[in-house]
Amino acid sequence: MTGPSVRTTLDAMSTDQQVQPRAGRQAVGTQAVASPRRDAVRDVLTVAPGILPFGIALGVVIASSSMGDGAGLLGAPLVYGGSAQLTATTMFQQGAGLLAVVDSALIVNARLLIYSASLAPRFRAQPTWFRLVAPHFIIDQTYLSALDRPGHAGRRFRAYWL
Protein backbone atom coordinates (compact mmCIF):
# COMPACT_ATOMS: atom_id res chain seq x y z
CA MET A 1 0.00 0.00 0.00
CA THR A 2 1.50 3.30 -1.03
CA GLY A 3 0.43 6.83 -1.76
CA PRO A 4 -3.23 7.86 -1.44
CA SER A 5 -4.43 4.41 -0.36
CA VAL A 6 -2.28 4.58 2.79
CA ARG A 7 -3.78 7.96 3.68
CA THR A 8 -7.33 6.67 3.09
CA THR A 9 -6.66 3.68 5.35
CA LEU A 10 -5.18 5.87 8.08
CA ASP A 11 -8.16 8.27 7.87
CA ALA A 12 -10.56 5.33 8.24
CA MET A 13 -8.68 4.14 11.34
CA SER A 14 -8.49 7.57 12.99
CA THR A 15 -10.12 8.01 16.39
CA ASP A 16 -10.01 11.81 16.14
CA GLN A 17 -13.22 12.09 14.16
CA GLN A 18 -16.45 13.15 15.88
CA VAL A 19 -19.26 10.60 15.86
CA GLN A 20 -22.40 12.15 14.44
CA PRO A 21 -25.70 10.93 15.91
CA ARG A 22 -27.88 9.04 13.50
CA ALA A 23 -31.46 10.08 12.92
CA GLY A 24 -33.60 9.34 15.97
CA ARG A 25 -30.67 9.45 18.39
CA GLN A 26 -29.87 11.96 21.08
CA ALA A 27 -26.25 12.99 21.53
CA VAL A 28 -24.76 12.76 25.02
CA GLY A 29 -21.26 14.19 25.00
CA THR A 30 -19.63 12.60 21.98
CA GLN A 31 -21.59 9.35 22.32
CA ALA A 32 -24.91 8.90 20.54
CA VAL A 33 -27.62 7.32 22.69
CA ALA A 34 -30.47 5.37 21.18
CA SER A 35 -33.72 4.51 22.87
CA PRO A 36 -33.05 2.77 26.21
CA ARG A 37 -35.42 -0.05 25.30
CA ARG A 38 -33.74 -0.54 21.93
CA ASP A 39 -30.33 -0.61 23.60
CA ALA A 40 -31.61 -3.12 26.17
CA VAL A 41 -32.97 -5.45 23.49
CA ARG A 42 -29.71 -5.18 21.55
CA ASP A 43 -27.68 -5.95 24.69
CA VAL A 44 -29.87 -8.90 25.67
CA LEU A 45 -29.54 -10.37 22.19
CA THR A 46 -25.78 -9.96 22.46
CA VAL A 47 -25.37 -11.78 25.79
CA ALA A 48 -28.14 -14.39 25.51
CA PRO A 49 -26.13 -16.80 23.33
CA GLY A 50 -23.53 -17.04 26.11
CA ILE A 51 -26.03 -17.49 28.92
CA LEU A 52 -27.97 -20.31 27.26
CA PRO A 53 -25.12 -22.88 27.14
CA PHE A 54 -24.13 -22.01 30.71
CA GLY A 55 -27.72 -22.61 31.86
CA ILE A 56 -27.79 -25.95 30.07
CA ALA A 57 -24.46 -26.97 31.61
CA LEU A 58 -25.66 -25.96 35.07
CA GLY A 59 -28.87 -27.93 34.55
CA VAL A 60 -26.91 -31.03 33.51
CA VAL A 61 -24.64 -30.77 36.58
CA ILE A 62 -27.64 -30.38 38.92
CA ALA A 63 -29.62 -33.17 37.25
CA SER A 64 -26.66 -35.55 37.47
CA SER A 65 -25.95 -34.74 41.11
CA SER A 66 -27.27 -36.68 44.06
CA MET A 67 -28.98 -33.54 45.39
CA GLY A 68 -32.12 -34.08 43.37
CA ASP A 69 -34.24 -31.67 41.36
CA GLY A 70 -35.78 -29.99 44.43
CA ALA A 71 -32.38 -28.93 45.74
CA GLY A 72 -31.49 -27.63 42.30
CA LEU A 73 -34.65 -25.54 42.09
CA LEU A 74 -34.25 -24.20 45.62
CA GLY A 75 -30.58 -23.47 45.00
CA ALA A 76 -31.29 -20.93 42.28
CA PRO A 77 -33.00 -18.32 44.50
CA LEU A 78 -30.92 -19.18 47.59
CA VAL A 79 -27.49 -19.15 45.98
CA TYR A 80 -28.53 -16.62 43.29
CA GLY A 81 -25.52 -16.60 40.97
CA GLY A 82 -25.24 -19.43 38.48
CA SER A 83 -21.49 -19.65 38.89
CA ALA A 84 -21.87 -19.85 42.68
CA GLN A 85 -24.56 -22.52 42.28
CA LEU A 86 -22.29 -24.48 39.95
CA THR A 87 -19.44 -24.18 42.46
CA ALA A 88 -21.64 -25.24 45.39
CA THR A 89 -23.21 -28.16 43.51
CA THR A 90 -19.87 -29.45 42.27
CA MET A 91 -18.24 -29.16 45.69
CA PHE A 92 -21.19 -30.83 47.40
CA GLN A 93 -21.08 -33.64 44.83
CA GLN A 94 -17.35 -34.11 45.51
CA GLY A 95 -18.04 -34.50 49.25
CA ALA A 96 -16.87 -31.11 50.54
CA GLY A 97 -18.12 -30.04 53.95
CA LEU A 98 -21.13 -27.73 54.26
CA LEU A 99 -19.02 -24.82 55.56
CA ALA A 100 -16.60 -25.10 52.62
CA VAL A 101 -19.51 -25.23 50.14
CA VAL A 102 -21.24 -22.18 51.67
CA ASP A 103 -17.99 -20.20 51.97
CA SER A 104 -17.06 -20.95 48.36
CA ALA A 105 -20.47 -19.85 47.08
CA LEU A 106 -20.21 -16.65 49.13
CA ILE A 107 -16.75 -15.91 47.76
CA VAL A 108 -17.88 -16.46 44.17
CA ASN A 109 -20.90 -14.19 44.73
CA ALA A 110 -18.81 -11.49 46.45
CA ARG A 111 -18.17 -9.93 43.05
CA LEU A 112 -21.84 -8.91 43.02
CA LEU A 113 -21.15 -6.60 45.99
CA ILE A 114 -18.47 -4.86 43.97
CA TYR A 115 -20.82 -4.59 41.00
CA SER A 116 -23.49 -3.12 43.27
CA ALA A 117 -21.11 -0.57 44.73
CA SER A 118 -20.04 0.46 41.24
CA LEU A 119 -23.65 0.91 40.08
CA ALA A 120 -24.80 2.62 43.31
CA PRO A 121 -24.64 6.17 41.88
CA ARG A 122 -26.99 5.16 39.06
CA PHE A 123 -29.44 3.55 41.48
CA ARG A 124 -29.26 6.27 44.15
CA ALA A 125 -31.43 8.77 42.26
CA GLN A 126 -34.10 6.17 41.44
CA PRO A 127 -37.49 5.76 43.16
CA THR A 128 -37.63 3.47 46.19
CA TRP A 129 -39.55 0.71 44.39
CA PHE A 130 -36.80 0.54 41.76
CA ARG A 131 -33.99 0.51 44.33
CA LEU A 132 -35.69 -2.41 46.09
CA VAL A 133 -36.42 -4.51 42.98
CA ALA A 134 -33.80 -3.76 40.33
CA PRO A 135 -30.57 -4.73 42.17
CA HIS A 136 -31.78 -8.34 42.26
CA PHE A 137 -30.96 -8.46 38.55
CA ILE A 138 -27.31 -7.46 38.86
CA ILE A 139 -25.31 -10.24 37.25
CA ASP A 140 -22.13 -10.13 35.19
CA GLN A 141 -24.01 -9.45 31.97
CA THR A 142 -26.34 -6.72 33.27
CA TYR A 143 -23.46 -5.02 35.07
CA LEU A 144 -21.25 -4.91 31.99
CA SER A 145 -24.13 -3.83 29.77
CA ALA A 146 -25.06 -0.99 32.13
CA LEU A 147 -21.44 0.17 32.27
CA ASP A 148 -21.43 0.36 28.49
CA ARG A 149 -24.48 2.66 28.52
CA PRO A 150 -23.42 5.72 30.56
CA GLY A 151 -25.83 7.94 28.62
CA HIS A 152 -28.82 6.30 30.25
CA ALA A 153 -29.54 8.06 33.53
CA GLY A 154 -32.65 8.67 35.60
CA ARG A 155 -35.81 7.50 33.85
CA ARG A 156 -33.80 6.35 30.81
CA PHE A 157 -31.71 4.08 33.06
CA ARG A 158 -34.89 2.63 34.57
CA ALA A 159 -36.31 1.91 31.13
CA TYR A 160 -33.03 0.34 30.05
CA TRP A 161 -32.60 -1.77 33.20
CA LEU A 162 -36.17 -3.05 33.29
Tens digit of each residue's pLDDT (9 = 90 or more) over 7-41: 444 454 444 444 344 444 444 444 555 789 999 99
* Bridge partners of residue 27, in order along the sequence: 32
Q: What are the residues facing 134 on neighbouring strands?
A: none
- Residues 79-107 pLDDT 10s: 777 888 888 888 988 899 999 999 999 99
Supply the pLDDT for residue 117. Answer: 92
Q: How confident is the model at residue 54, as a pLDDT?
A: 86
Contact of 62 with 75, CB cutoff 8 Å: yes
End-to-end CA distance of the chain: 49
- Nearest Cα neighbor of 160 from 33, 44, 39, 24 is 39
Q: What is the pLDDT of residue 38?
A: 92
pLDDT of residue 32: 54
Number of residues that make up the chain: 162
At 20 the pLDDT is 42
Q: Compute the average pLDDT of residues 123-142.
A: 90
Say if CB 84 and CB 93 are below 8 A apart: no
CB-based burial of residue 149 (10 Å sphere; 0-12 exposed, 13-18 middle, 19+ buried)?
buried
Residue with the bigger pLDDT between 95 and 75: it is 95
